[in-house]
Amino acid sequence: MNLICPNVSFCSQNCNALNVSTIKNQDLKVSAIVNYNSDVIFLSDLRLNGKDKIVMDKFRLKYKVYFNSSGNSRGVAVLIKFQVEQELLDTVADPQENFILLRIKLNGVEMIIGSVYGPNVDRGAEQFYNELKRNLQRWPDLPCVLGGDWNATYSDLLVNENPDILFMQDIPSRVRTGMLLDLCEEIGLSDPLRILNPDLKEFTYHPSGAVRKNRSRIDFFLVSDCIYQYIEKCIISQGYCRRSFDHKPIFLELKKKKVVKDGQSSTIVQ
């Protein structure tokens, strides 16, 4: 795949429901998400339950909104900042509201972007991964960036070697991790944080309260190989709004590489 870098930043956040009991708490969540100031934001676990206009209008002051959430469980969305040049070419919304995929041009670069909320039980996981794979295969020659809460770890190593868990007897699901890795192999995707930082032990899911000490990294991006040449950074936030979320946001930034030639800076375009 040939790619001219779109020069955009991505964020992903598990929302722990945007349809909450009070307007104050809802506004606190929306404000935290908007203040990440990323060009593209992937949201999971929306649970809009018929209040999509009330909630999503709060994002529409700054972002173009694409969402797939109608019930009181699951639900995903993609937000794209109005300042980013964008042309939507196609959309796929999973009937179970576990993913939304956009074939889109961002700053003139055609690519696939998508928000994912992976199943948290093994039953039905095979259908989820088969549907995700089938739809991604509709556009086999386009670079892809997916992000979300996968409810599975990228690493399938044993507990004492696994960098994606802490204080756990096993990874969340070996079945779902196996399906995730099969998807990556067939579509040609990988987790940039783990590829760039093989031994890093940082976690995205921190259960609420002081009793449970288990930690896991179940929120991550999956990207095509051709994306790596443009990755400026891929990180887990060191802080987050604990009153609103039990998952940390994650960030991915793509930048054109600069070279200095004859005393001047120029951009490498491949």
CA-to-CA separations, 261 to 27, 229, 257, 258, in angstroms, rounded = 48, 19, 13, 10
The CATH H-level superfamily of 9-267 is: Endonuclease/exonuclease/phosphatase (3.60.10.10)
Q: Is a pLDDT exceeding 90 seen at residue 248?
A: yes
Q: Is a pLDDT exceeding 80 seen at residue 82?
A: yes
Torsion of CA 237, 172, 79, 268, to 10 degrees: 60
Q: What percent of the chain has pLDDT over 90?
A: 83
State residue 264's pLDDT score.
55
Instruction: Provide the residue type at 248 as one letter.
Output: K
Give the range among 3-17, 72-86, 206-220 with minimum mean pLDDT.
206-220
Mean pLDDT in residue range 13-36: 92
Tokens of 11: 């964020």
Q: Is a pLDDT exceeding 60 seen at residue 118?
A: yes
Q: How high does pLDDT run on average in the chain?
A: 92
pLDDT digit string, tens, across residues 40-63? 999 999 999 999 999 999 999 999
State residue 268's pLDDT score.
44
Query: pTM for this structure?
Result: 0.94
Mean pLDDT in residue range 126-131: 98
Distance CA 83, CA 230 (A): 20
pLDDT digit string, tens, across residues 208-241? 766 788 999 999 999 999 999 999 999 999 877 7
Mean pLDDT in residue range 31-36: 94
State residue 106's pLDDT score.
98
Q: Which residues pair with 67 in a beta bridge?
A: 77
The length of the chain in residues reads: 270
State residue 258's pLDDT score.
65
pLDDT band at 267 (very low <50, low <70, confident <90, very high): very low
Give the range among 134-138, 247-251, 255-259 with minimum mean pLDDT.
255-259
